[in-house]
Structure 1
Amino acid sequence: MESKTPQNLRVLFFPYMAPGHMIPMLDIAKLLSHFGVQTTFISTFGNAPLVETSINHFNSTNSSNPSIKLVLIQFPSAEAGLPVGCENASYLTSLDMLVNFHKAVAMLRQPFDQLLEQLLPDAIFSDYFLPWTLDSASNFGIPRLVFYGTSTFAVCAMHKVDHYDPHSRPEESFIVPDLPHPIHMLKSQVHNLSKTDPRIMKIMLAADESDEKSYGTVMNSFYELEPDYVDYYRNVLGRRAWYFGPVSLCNDNIFDMSTRGDKPAIDKDECLNWLDNKKPSSVLYVCFGSMIKFTSTQLHEIALGLESSQQPFIWVLKKELFEDEREWLMEEYEKRVEGRGLIIRGWAPQMLILNHEAIGGCLTHCGWNSTLEAVTAGVPLVAMPMFAEHFYTERFIVDVLKIGVGVGVKQYGTGQRFEAGMEKVGVVVHKEDIERGVLTLMVGTEGEEMRRRARELKVSAKMAVEKGGSSYLDIGKFIEELSQKKTEVI
């Protein structure tokens, strides 16, 4: 990728403390560094392992570009009522912990303000969930760019659904109003804001308000993926936005792809060798991100659904399993699926796996990072949405892109132990539904057609980030505008 001369631009990055937010924002820092922008990335000491290896390798192998400077600040876990060392949202297991976590995040304002005064960057990129950074940036006359960790489609759909307020209406099903496509949803799939804990609601309202007042938005997406919604967001909703994605494609070698994020729980060669022994497009990759905490019952249903499908699979499980689940999975299940199923406990080299020719599909919670990384690898999806914007992403995958099939989840929060600010639900996705979704994708002509469309999107994704592509040009436009703004100030 060619570097430009951005008149010594300096940009500060401050992500929300969760893997799905930190990792793509670091990728954006890498992209801007490739264009000659001086970048500083803020993290806490406890979250440093998620980014430090990647930053050090980038700096050592990209000597022609400005280095990424990593600045670590102290996270006030104990002061906010959290266990010592609880510095990442993926560790949270209760509503009270989430509230205290955001209390701790807000307490970072003082060190953040000190950094702004010291560095005086030309812009800051901060997460949607850090709304107070707008006030900090405004006090120093610095433009704040909001990072959204989801698609433009989901942002537009959520905006329309919030105004429509389906929970105030008698109908169970509805069409999201005024979107370019007819999007059918159930109100049970939409977070009921009236039943949200007031403490969480306050955080969400502050985030929305600061979003509207910020300089603009940066999206991990690309124009060709969702052109109708990029245009809708910019021209109908009137939001300024730049599209830099898919940002994961800046990791274009085996080392970067295998060390992106936390330390993998499996050796990359062991994983690749296992895949090398499978037929092309025959293996299902199963991963539900870093935030999902399933009940024991739901984990069992997923396991049995995968087993009865008779399809080869790689299943990534969180390390924090309860004792009964760990024993059941280790002593019984793994023996039954030996040779056909590979279980990874902990972090997986997801990009490497998805880009292997043996992978033919991905069972996902519809988190945007996993969805977009699958698209970038040309892999279609089995959608099992859980909460947040997941149900909107499912509709985007199934109804707009037509590269996936849903398992029929109808209830927000299905199968989980904890999800911030929502009512507990005693519903699970049954093994028969999971098996049916897997077989639809992995066996037969319908799944092959989804794979064909996904492979077309893979080509479009790579073209978008290459010289002259839509995302490449958007980065250039952003740098040019920021440079002009800096010149006017001087």
Structure 2
Amino acid sequence: MGGEENQVHIFFFPFMAHGHLIPTIDMAKLFASRGVKATIVTTPLNAPLVSRTIQRSKSFGFDINIKTIKFPAVEAGLPEGCENAESITSHESEGEMTKKFFEATAMLQEPLEKLLQECHPDCLIADMFLPWATDAAAKFGIPRLVFHGISCFSLCTSDCLMRYKPFKKVSSDSELFVVPELPGEIKFTSKQLPDYIKQDVETDFTRLIQKVRESSWKSYGIVINSFYELESAYADFFKELGRKAWHIGPVSLCNREFEEKAQRGKEASIDEDECLKWLDSKEPNSVVYICFGTVANFSDSQLKEIAIALEASGQQFIWVVRKEKKAKDKEEWLPEGFEKRMESKGLIIRGWAPQVMILDHEAIGGFVTHCGWNSTIEGVAAGKPMVTWPVSAEQFFNEKLVTDVLKIGVAVGAQQWVTVCGDKIKSEAVEKAVTRIMIGEEAKEMRSRVEALGGMAKRAIEEDGSSYSNLNALIEELRGRRL
């Protein structure tokens, strides 16, 4: 590894939201496991989440540190202590708060530049939502790598959609069209596309996305939380676009020990051992896991449809719901007596769940997901077939990768891209999709395909695997820049 002076030093700067922080911390651990000195830059209220997750890595001798910079919440017109995108509540319209949150993150440029000047790392890996980081790093001759947190398939899809605008050539928003130039005959309707891709009218968010694209083009390259074998046609296509990218994932696989998996992210809302005990008592592939990530918020009536579907399907389940348990009020979203009837069959986790730990358990036979990329790649790495229920962001793109390209899941039937609250899907459709990934010939075929991909994912990060070699090549390239 060479001495201290030969050690490559990388700054990691995640966007302040759990779905961005967690994979960035995993990535820092991954680089540190190769002898890189990793420094995670974050704000005071996000630092405890980071330190809790890297504590164990330090005991393995990994060189990971945290540097904090003050988050200008009050200066941007946010409530004191609002330092994570998930603490944005609707004091006023959520859109207004989000806008202020992005304004606050832009004010971090100056303090970041001070740190870069002081420490002069060899590279800055910064989240896509911090587009100004490219210019900040350039001032000191430091290469900036972008972490989009999404798949290469989605990067290619949005690139083709923005360049060719095929959605403008259809007669209605529910007519299917093929994405031009993209390998694999991928079809969408206009309804399934993110607003920021379709909008002709400039909004704060479309301006931000434009900046993200420009800074991404100007940056040194992109690191992707995926592995080459999973989306090779798209990795090759991306290269042809003249973009430098390194597939170094799945980054969640750096958490090998029980504690690491259990303690990844926030404090779990369930005792990990209790959860494990419950899973240990079940047959292999007999439990369906339902979780919609940290952002999607379903209405009470939609949650009720899911509950009805789970009961009707007869499947055992673990269901993560972002709702506090009410002491005396009746919970509107649960059918009368549901929890009593489901006592031995189902486990409801209210709040945060140790997802990687749950997915890796052999009792889990399927995964109902909103198709956020973290969840999708974790599902693949664990070898679990999926029911896809996209809501927003680039989730409809990930659905196509899962159902049409990889053929390891079935769509629940969501048709409409919305910002936070999912499409109204009837219990019959949910029940049918859950049954399709759990029982029968089709389920068996999907399971064997996704288990093979899970094996490839694990091999990719082992010595001489594709992600392992990509990461080595990147570190060596950064080392070479200094000589």
Tell me the TM-score normalized by structure 1.
Answer: 0.92
Deviations 1:374-394 (A, max 9, x none): 111111100000111100100
> What's the counterpart of residue 180 of structure 2?
177
3-state SS in 2 of match to 1:79: coil
- The question of whether the paired residues in 1 share the 8 Å contact of 2:310 and 2:431 is answered with yes
Letter of the 2:138 partner, please give it: S
Q: Which of 401, 410, 414 is the equivalent residue of 1:405?
A: 410
Q: Give the secondary-structure state (helix, strand or coil) at the position aligned to 1:303.
A: helix
Matching residue of 1:273: 277
Structure 1 window deviating more from structure 2 (217-226 vs 297-306): it is 297-306
When residues 314 and 200 of structure 1 are mapped into structure 2, their CA distance, relative to the original with a 3 A threshold, is same
Distance in 1, Cα, partners of 2:419 & 2:79: 28
CA distance in 2, matches of 1:156, 1:4: 38
**Identity, % of aligned positions:** 47
Structure 1: distance between partners of 2:419 and 2:294: 17
The CA distance in 2 between the partners of 1:248 and 1:332, in whole Å, is 37
Determine whether 1:261 maps to 2:281: no
Contact 1:4 1:36 in 2 (8 A): no
- Mapped partners of 1:281, 1:457: distance in 2: 17
In 2, the alpha carbon distance for the partners of 1:19 and 1:263 equals 12
For the 8 Å contact 1:414–1:429, the answer to whether it is kept is no
Q: In structure 2, what is the equivalent of residue 452 of structure 1? A: 448
Give 1:29's aligned residue.
28
Kindly report which structure 2 residues correspond to 1:96-245, keeping only aligned pairs within 5 A, or say none: 96-171=96-171, 172-192=175-195, 193-194=198-199, 198-235=203-240, 237-245=241-249
Is 1:485 the equivalent of 2:462? no
Runs of 5+ unmatched residues, structure 2: none
Shift of 1:92: 3.0
Letter of the 2:189 counterpart: L
| Paired residue type of 1:71 | K
Q: Which structure has the higher relative contact order (CA within 8 Å, separation 6+)?
A: 1
Q: Which of 330, 336, 339 is 2:341 aligned to?
A: 336
Aligned ranges 1:59-98 → 2 under 5 Å:
59-60=58-59, 62-63=60-61, 65=62, 67-93=63-89, 94-98=94-98
Inter-partner Cα distance in structure 1 for 2:340 and 2:70: 44
Structure 2 counterpart of 1:296, which letter?
D
In structure 1, how many angstroms separate the alpha carbons of the residues matched to 2:462 and 2:205? 40
- Measure, in 1, the Cα distance between the counterparts of 2:325 and 2:219: 40
Q: Where in structure 2 are the equivalents of 1:366-377 lying within 5 Å?
A: 366-377=371-382
In structure 2, the residue matched to 1:441 is: 437
Which residue matches 1:421?
Answer: none
Which ranges of structure 1 fall in alignment gaps of 5 or more residues?
A: 418-426
Does 1:316 find its partner at 2:320? yes
Q: Which amino acid aligns with 2:363?
A: A
For 2:364, which of 351, 356, 359 is the aligned residue? Answer: 359
Q: Deviations over 1:428-483 (max 9, x none)?
A: 11111111110111111101110100110111011101111111111111011111
Amino acid at match of 1:354: L
Counterparts in 2 of 1:83 and 1:329: CA distance versus 1, 3 Å: farther
User: SS at the partner of 2:368?
Assistant: strand
- Contact residue 157 and residue 397 of structure 2 kept, 8 A: yes
1:422 match: none
Name the stretch that deviates more: 297-306 or 362-371: 297-306
For the 8 Å contact 2:227–2:467, the answer to whether it is kept is yes
Report SS of the residue matched to 1:97: helix
Change (3 A) 1:195 1:282: farther
Between 1:323-332 and 1:349-358, the stretch displaced more is 323-332
State how far apart, in whole Å, the 2-side matches of 1:179 and 1:170 are.
18
Shift of 1:83: 2.2
8 Å contact from structure 2 (residues 132, 215) kept in 1: yes
Following the alignment from structure 1 to structure 2, what is the Cα–Cα distance between the partners of residues 273 and 52? 28
CA shift, 1:191, in A, is: 1.9
1:99-135 C-alpha deviation (Å, 9 max, x unpaired): 0110111111121111111111110000011001111
The answer to whether the Cα contact below 8 Å between 1:80 and 1:101 also exists between their aligned partners in 2 is: yes
Letter in 1 for 2:411: G
Residue 105 of structure 1 aligns with an amino acid whose one-letter code is: T
Q: Aligned-residue CA RMSD in angstroms? A: 2.0
Q: Distance in 1 between matches of 2:66 and 2:405?
A: 39
In structure 1, the residue matched to 2:426 is 430
Q: Shift of residue 19 of structure 1?
A: 1.0
Q: Is the aligned partner of 1:299 residue 2:303?
A: yes
- CA–CA distance in 1 between the matches of 2:446 and 2:421? 29
Q: CA separation in 2, counterparts of 1:415 and 1:118?
A: 40
**Contact 2:152/2:235 (<8 A) preserved:** yes
TM-score using structure 2 length: 0.94
CA distance in 1, matches of 2:2, 2:395: 37
Give per-residue Cα distances to partners, 1:250-283, cap 9 Å, x unaligned. Answer: 1110010100111111111100111111111010
Q: What is the CA-CA distance between 1:196 and the residue it aligns to?
A: 6.5
| CA deviation map 1:229-264 (0-9, x unaligned) | 1111012x1100111111111111001010011111
* Partner SS state of residue 54, structure 2: helix
Q: Name whichever of 355-364 and 195-204 sits farther off.
A: 195-204
